[in-house]
């Protein structure tokens, strides 16, 4: 199987590249080859490619900066994935796109299902929802996978931030009223491969959810990170309202992943097992 992947050094793209081999060829495009701020250039890569399917694992992910950089965020997360999906549809290529729980309002306590009403509360969420709408309207064979709280040994993420802060602090205040499922990037990458293969084989697309289990607060996620790295750090819980950020964060990031299991046999990953793997990778590379 040959895959064209948009993204190269991001968390999920890095994990995708690591899966290449044994019948799987991955051509991962970084910014030098595919600048996501230029939709037509990205579409041209698909028009000229020799591949079996396309995966978009790249995005504008600076949630707070997007509040002041809306035009760029809307292009990268909205117009460009739309152009990609249109180009893939013309070629008859399956297109798999990674999205986010931020397309929801993030209220309530029940897990969001793929068919729940969307109501993003910040620019990042609106830009990702615009991409989803464009992809679904493109008319090709596409699948959108929403996920949450991605972490890995690569790039910038919560786990690495907590470990960095613990180098100089013995106590940290971490939000305790945002609840979600941390999701290992390595598991997301494997799932994207399975979904691409399923689409190539003729299975239908649509919108699905994939997130780690069990759900947890950021505070508890931090405590687990320090426990597994044997670091003595006091983690105090605070409310979101006491930690203001430019972009409003969802309190409820729970995702209902039942349809992904029913249609593709893919179960939710155990984020604690994923955390152990990430910590091992970080300690090995240190």
**Which residues are known catalytic residues?**
124
Question: Is the separation of the CB atoms in 253 and 209 below 8 Å?
Answer: no
Short-list 25, 76, 33, CA closest to 53: 25
| CA 211/CA 256 separation, integer angstroms | 8
Question: Is the separation of the CB atoms in 103 and 128 below 8 Å?
Answer: yes
| CA 38/CA 21 separation, integer angstroms | 30
Buried b or exposed e, range 179-216, using 16+ CB within 10 angstroms? bbbbbbbbbbbbbbbebbbbbbeeeebebbbbbbbebb
Evaluate the CA torsion angle 161, 236, 253, 243 in order and state its sign.
Answer: negative
Please, what is the Cα angle at 183 between 89 and 70, to 5 degrees? 60
């Amino acid at each position: 199987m040959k895959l064209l992947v948009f993204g190269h050094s991001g968390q999920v793209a890095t994990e995708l590249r690591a899966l290449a081999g044994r019948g799987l060829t991955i051509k991962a495009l970084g910014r030098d080859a595919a600048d996501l701020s230029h939709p037509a250039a990205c579409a041209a890569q698909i028009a000229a490619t020799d591949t079996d399917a396309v995966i978009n694992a790249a995005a504008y992910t600076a949630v707070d900066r997007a509040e002041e950089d809306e035009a760029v965020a809307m292009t990268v997360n909205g117009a460009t994935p739309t152009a990609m999906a249109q180009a893939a549809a013309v070629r008859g290529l399956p297109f798999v796109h990674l999205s986010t729980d931020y397309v929801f309002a993030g209220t309530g306590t029940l897990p969001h299902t793929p068919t729940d009403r969307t109501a993003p509360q910040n620019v990042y969420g609106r830009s990702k929802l615009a991409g989803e709408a464009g992809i679904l309207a493109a008319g090709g064979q596409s699948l959108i996978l929403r996920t949450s709280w991605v972490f890995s040994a690569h790039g910038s993420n919560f786990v690495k931030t907590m470990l960095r802060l613990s180098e100089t602090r013995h106590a940290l205040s971490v939000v305790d009223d945002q609840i979600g499922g941390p999701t290992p990037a390595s598991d997301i990458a494997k799932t994207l491969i399975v979904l691409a293969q399923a689409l190539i084989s003729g299975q239908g697309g649509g919108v699905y959810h994939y997130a780690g289990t069990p759900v947890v607060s950021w505070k508890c996620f931090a405590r687990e990170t320090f426990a597994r790295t044997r670091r003595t750090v006091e983690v105090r819980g605070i409310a979101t309202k006491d930690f203001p950020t430019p972009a409003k964060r969802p309190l409820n990031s729970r995702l209902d992943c039942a349809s992904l299991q029913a249609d593709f046999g893919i179960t939710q990953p155990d984020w604690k097992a994923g955390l152990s793997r990430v910590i091992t990778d970080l300690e090995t590379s240190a």
